[in-house]
A and B are shown apart, each in its own frame.
Chain A
Amino acid sequence: MFGISDPGIYLAYLLVFLCVIFAVVYGIVNWNKGGTDNTLPLEEDIKWEEEELKIKEDEA
Chain B
Amino acid sequence: MNTFVLGLIVLAYLISLTYLGFKGYRKSSTDKDYLLAGGEIHPFVMAISYGATFISSSAIIGFGGVSANFGMGLIWLTFLNMFVGVVVAFLFFGRKTRRIGHRLNAHTFPEFLGKSYNSKAIQVFAGAIIFIAMPLYAAVVLKGGAVFIEKIFEIDYNIALLLFALVIAAYVIAGGLRGVMYTDALQGTIMFASMIFLLIWTYKSIGMGFVEANRHLSEMASAVPDKLQAIGHMGWTAMPKSGSPWWYTLVTSLVLGVGIGVLAQPQLVVRFMTVKSTKELNRAVLIGCVFILATTGIIFTVGAVSNIFFMQTEGQIAINVVKDVDKIIPEYIKASMPGWFSAVFMLTILSASMSTLSSQFHAMGTSIGRDVVSTLSKKQRNNTRITRSGIAFAIIISYVICYTLSIGVIARGTAIFFGICAATFLPAYFCSLYWKRTTAKAALWSMISGFAASLFALLFMHAKESEALGISQLIFGKPVLFAKIPWPVLDPMIISLPVSIIVIVAITLLSNQKEIKTVSA
A4 to B99, CA, bound (A): 44
CB contact under 8 A between A23 and B87, given known A3-B211, A33-B282, A38-B102: yes
- Is B476 an interface position by the 8 A CB rule? no
A35 to B210, CA, bound (A): 42
Stretch at the interface among B74-82, B167-175, B308-316: B74-82
| Chain B interface size, under 10 / 10 to 19 / 20 to 34 / 35 or more | 35 or more
Which of B83, B103, B214, B285 is A4 in contact with, Cβ under 8 Å? B214
Which of B218, B277, B278, B286 is A28 in contact with, Cβ under 8 Å? B286
Q: Are A59 and B513 touching (Cβ within 8 A)?
A: yes
- Is B237 an interface position by the 8 A CB rule? yes
A residues within 8 A CB of B287? 27
A15 to B75, CA, bound (A): 10
- Is B136 an interface position by the 8 A CB rule? no
A residues within 8 A CB of B96? 44
Q: Are A48 and B514 touching (Cβ within 8 A)?
A: no
User: Which B residue sits closest to A5, measured CB to CB?
Assistant: B218
Q: Are A31 and B238 touching (Cβ within 8 A)?
A: no
A residues within 8 A CB of B281? 34
B residues within 8 A CB of A46? none
- Is B283 an interface position by the 8 A CB rule? yes
Q: Are A4 and B237 touching (Cβ within 8 A)?
A: yes
Q: Are A4 and B72 touching (Cβ within 8 A)?
A: yes
Q: Are A5 and B237 touching (Cβ within 8 A)?
A: yes
Q: Are B87 and A38 touching (Cβ within 8 A)?
A: no
A55 to B438, CA, bound (A): 11
**Chain B binding surface, main DSSP class:** helix
A2 to B297, CA, bound (A): 15
Q: Are A35 and B218 touching (Cβ within 8 A)?
A: no
Shortest Cβ distance from residue A24 to the other chain B in the assembled complex, whole angstroms: 6
A38 to B75, CA, bound (A): 38
Shortest Cβ distance from residue A53 to the other chain B in the assembled complex, whole angstroms: 10
CB contact under 8 A between A34 and B79, given known A9-B73, A16-B293, A55-B436: no
**Chain A binding surface, main DSSP class:** helix
Give the contacts of A1-44 with B (CB-CB under 8 A): 2-6, 8-9, 12-13, 15-16, 19-20, 22-24, 26-28, 30-36, 38-39, 42, 44
CB contact under 8 A between A34 and B211, given known A23-B82, A23-B285, A24-B286: no
Q: Are A15 and B79 touching (Cβ within 8 A)?
A: yes
Q: Are A6 and B289 touching (Cβ within 8 A)?
A: no
A33 to B290, CA, bound (A): 20
A residues within 8 A CB of B297? 16
Shortest Cβ distance from residue A47 to the other chain B in the assembled complex, whole angstroms: 10
Shortest Cβ distance from residue B162 to the other chain A in the assembled complex, whole angstroms: 40
A13 to B87, CA, bound (A): 17
B residues within 8 A CB of A28? 286
Per-residue CB contact flags for chain B residues 95-108 toward chain A (1 = under 8 Å, else 0) read 01001001100000
B residues within 8 A CB of A31? 279, 282-283
A16 to B289, CA, bound (A): 9
Q: Are B277 and A23 touching (Cβ within 8 A)?
A: no
A residues within 8 A CB of B514? 59
Which of B72, B99, B276 is A12 in contact with, Cβ under 8 Å? B72
A32 to B76, CA, bound (A): 31
A2 to B212, CA, bound (A): 8
Give the contacts of A46-60 with B (CB-CB under 8 A): 48, 51-52, 55, 59
In the A-B complex, the 9 residue pairs with the closest CB atoms: A27-B286, A34-B278, A3-B214, A23-B289, A8-B239, A34-B279, A30-B282, A36-B277, A3-B211
- A-B contact list, 9 entries, CB within 8 Å: A2-B211, A4-B72, A4-B218, A8-B238, A12-B73, A12-B76, A23-B289, A36-B277, A59-B513
